[in-house]
Chains A and B, each alone.
Chain A
């Protein structure tokens, strides 16, 4: 479980996060949603230590992360897997080398064991046999799946996913969403997905935290989100014509 308390973050005079708190349970898909510029990615980066919040705490199963020193943070980060918005695969490495990279760095496994783990992860994301391809040879959806394979290579306790569906077609988006949900339930990971994709929200949002202008406006599940009276949330959820048309059916 990850617990955040009263997170505040500013860039100069621009106050991006204003006292955000929330609990993200293991084994369920936790979503942070909100419009562009609402502070979703900044909150995610505060949680994993890429940004330092001015105020507030982040606890990983009771271990306070923000006040840890460099070495202590590294130990927590070994338990974290992350899928970046642009996948962030290492260009100069093949798919296999990308997935094997954390194993090379942090384990003493033999090459055969590491290759077995790589093949397992690739099978898990339905990319078996793509070991020798370079990132430049992959489609956007395949890059995301390799990113997920790399993220789960070390059996992470915590999985962070930043905009998993950006730049993907609707069908591939659903494949990625379902993969994230399956992995979360299968390995009981604490998964946090940052998204503004309503298909993801309705499809996999077990717990949803809605941010608006840097503040937490609402929290709940995908079953509850369509039945609130909060204007800002309704404006966000039912912004598209499709969602407006489907409003009464949720």
Chain B
């Protein structure tokens, strides 16, 4: 995103947060988006998180070659990595692909088929009506998905570690309960909130300003995923630097 685009993005956000015409209709749209973003992504996030947790346990165990390091460390490393980095970031990147491309192509298609013009002519604030429910659903559902991902990643680590014999159940459970710092959850949720905003607002911006036809909608969709992923990684660094 260059400076011109960033300026247009901010102006679009200003229009998005104008007072809704009718709150009841927006509320209905928010619940619909929460279902799409949250409930619709649970299965995918569950599978990815469980496997990442399991694989991570095996890799940590593989790297622990010293007998002086207790195996309980496998659980605690898995826990902190999952909570602080893997669950928020992997969840966000997966959602940027799944949700971001859907948002961008939906709004882009509405733009090229004049449906957005139709909203404007009716006197409806089209950025607000189309984008606000998506952003509100994103910033509420992505943190919930990240919480789910944390639990499943740690559970996956338990399953992967114990089934392969890399760690005993007792060692793993001791590891994940020792020296737990609840602040890491706060950091993860702040990240999830920011990522939820990016995953919904960036693709919406890309779709909203599409010009042309099917090819341009597809290009905007690709651009939306790429820009979202880069923005997620950049914000991940900034939030981590600020909060840790």
B-binding residues in A (CB < 8 A)? 48-50, 70, 74-78, 80, 82, 84-86, 88-91, 101-102, 104-106, 154, 160
Contact = CB atoms under 8 A, between A and B. Distances in A.
A77 B120 CA distance: 8
25 contacts: A48-B121, A50-B117, A50-B120, A70-B18, A77-B120, A77-B122, A78-B122, A78-B123, A80-B123, A86-B113, A86-B114, A88-B118, A89-B115, A90-B115, A102-B122, A104-B25, A105-B21, A105-B25, A105-B122, A105-B124, A106-B21, A106-B122, A106-B123, A154-B122, A160-B121
Contacts of B18: 70
B22 A104 contact: yes
Contacts of A86: 113-114
Contact of A84 (B22, B109, B117, B125): B117
B22 A75 contact: no
Contacts of A160: 121
Pick the most buried of B22, B115, B118: most chain A CB atoms within 10 A of its CB.
B118
B117 A77 contact: no
Given A105-B25, A106-B21, A91 B115 contact: yes
Contacts of A50: 117, 120-121
B123 A82 contact: no
Contacts of B118: 82, 84, 88, 90
Contacts of B115: 88-91
Nearest to A102: B122
Interface residues of B, number: 16
| 4 A-B pairs with least C-beta separation | A77-B123, A88-B114, A88-B118, A74-B123
B114 A84 contact: yes
Nearest to B116: A88
A161 to B, nearest CB: 12
Interface in B135-179: none
A88 B113 contact: yes
A247 to B, nearest CB: 36
A105 B22 CA distance: 6
A77 B114 contact: no
A75 B117 contact: no
Contacts of B121: 48, 50, 77, 80, 82, 160
A80 B118 CA distance: 11
Nearest to A84: B114
A104 B23 CA distance: 11
Given A70-B18, A86-B113, A91-B109, 5 more contacts: A77-B120, A86-B114, A88-B117, A88-B118, A90-B115
B106 to A, nearest CB: 9
A223 to B, nearest CB: 32
A76 B109 CA distance: 27
A84 B22 CA distance: 25
Contacts of B117: 50, 84, 88
Contacts of B25: 104-105
A85 B109 CA distance: 15
A85 B114 CA distance: 9
A78 to B, nearest CB: 4
